[in-house]
Amino acid sequence: MGSRQRRVLAAIVAVCIVIGAGYVIAAAFGPSDVNTDAQPRAAGGASVPAGAELIVRGVDPGDPRLNGQIFVLERGHAEKIPGSDLACERVYFSAGRGLCMAVAPSGVEYEATVFDSSLQPVKRLGLTGLPSRARVSPDGRYGAMTVFVAGHAYLSGGGFSTTTTLVDMRAGKEIAQLEQFEVLRDGQPFDAVDFNFWGVTFAKDPNTFYATLHTGDRYYLVEGNVRERTMRVLRDGVECPSLSPDGTRIAFKSRIGDENRWHLEVLDLDTLSAHRLAEDRSIDDQAEWLDDDTLAYSYGHDVYSVPADGSGNPQLLLRDASSPVAL
């Protein structure tokens, strides 16, 4: 390397350092917040089912990844509980205990917060990936969180996997990962390297839960038992199950072909047969039962509802909101 080359290289190094460091310093002192103040807006003419009360997360349509504040929907108005600054990416609440999955203040890590009925944090838990689904059992005893863990390429190289964790909501502690449970299919032990679980929903007896088990090109509905740490396969083609309040039906998203597009369906747990709902758009959400006849779900930056029996039409419930939770 001649002296001319050396001088050119030194100049390039200097320029690169100045640009890189300068940009980072400017970004560090620029505006950067992981939370938004965006407020849900009641949709004009939307009929909130009688008696329905909801918790939702506000969505900033310009930057939907930001943690949204938690609002309580009463009499058709979204209202913030005074004194709470809880902000989440996913939220769920039941029987006085809530679970909030959020981007941590650093902006690159994720954390979960167990909160009480006044939306005050009780306990914080670290998350190992991007928040995907949150649920709490009807009696507030157990919680379940699914995160996307990107970059753990097992077979496909650069693929993704999920981790679903069960949480003791009273102690605010993790109980187990669903990956550690024993799975039975047709009475036989069932195991594969590419097992992924997501979308837990709890029954009234909180030891019973349902979830999706993905392996190969199958998306099994499994019924699990928290105490016995077991699961058994019920049927294929069910993602993000959600058990109805009366415990007889499961709403879920059904994959259309090989694409990442889904229809909402409801299946009867006795017969395991399903019917489509009157929503033609692709829905990527774990639906929430407002009551035994109506489901709510996120689409785009808004929350919609649709009858569970396949009749009627989707109704816009709230604009700039997601993660609906029936109270």
Which residues from 11-50 bind another protein, rule CB under 8 A? Answer: 12-13, 16-17, 19-20, 23-24, 27-28, 30, 32-34
- According to the binding rule CB under 8 A, does residue 107 interact with another protein? yes
* Residues forming beta bridges with residue 94, ordered by sequence position: 97
- Which span (59-67, 233-241, 247-255, 264-272) binds another protein, by CB under 8 A? 59-67
Residue matched to tokens 């981790």: 163
Contact predicate 161/147, CB 8 Å: no
Return the percent helix, strand and coil in the chain, to nearest 5: 10, 50, 40
- According to the binding rule CB under 8 A, does residue 257 interact with another protein? no
Nearest CA to 157 among 190, 197, 194?
Answer: 194
For another protein, the binding residue among 117, 118, 150, 228 (CB under 8 A) is 150
- 13 vs 327 by CB, closer to another protein: 13
- Long-range contacts of residues 73-76, Cβ cutoff 8 Å, at least 24 apart: 73/40, 73/48, 73/318, 76/42, 76/46, 76/48
- 50 vs 193 by CB, closer to another protein: 193
Question: What span, in angstroms and rounded, lies between the C-alpha atoms of 150 and 130?
Answer: 8
Question: What span, in angstroms and rounded, lies between the C-alpha atoms of 116 and 139?
Answer: 13
Contact predicate 303/318, CB 8 Å: yes
- 163 vs 305 by CB, closer to another protein: 163
What's phi and psi for 251, nearest 5 deg? -85, 145
- According to the binding rule CB under 8 A, does residue 203 interact with another protein? no
Residue ranges of E strands in 59-103 = 67-74, 77-80, 87-88, 90-94, 97-103
What is the total count of residues that contact another protein (CB under 8 A)?
Answer: 54
Q: For the chain, what is the largest distance between any 2 Cα atoms, rounded to a whole number of angstroms?
A: 82
Question: What is the nearest approach in angstroms of another protein to the Cβ of residue 215?
Answer: 8
- According to the binding rule CB under 8 A, does residue 215 interact with another protein? yes
Contact predicate 302/267, CB 8 Å: no
- According to the binding rule CB under 8 A, does residue 327 interact with another protein? no
Question: What is the nearest approach in angstroms of another protein to the Cβ of residue 225?
Answer: 19
For another protein, the binding residue among 51, 75, 188, 191 (CB under 8 A) is 191
- According to the binding rule CB under 8 A, does residue 3 interact with another protein? no
For another protein, the binding residue among 36, 94, 113, 163 (CB under 8 A) is 163
For another protein, the binding residue among 82, 108, 188, 227 (CB under 8 A) is 108
- According to the binding rule CB under 8 A, does residue 61 interact with another protein? no
What residue ranges bind another protein (CB under 8 A)?
1, 5-6, 8-9, 12-13, 16-17, 19-20, 23-24, 27-28, 30, 32-34, 63-65, 103, 105-108, 126, 128, 130, 148-160, 163, 177, 180, 191-194, 215-216, 260, 284
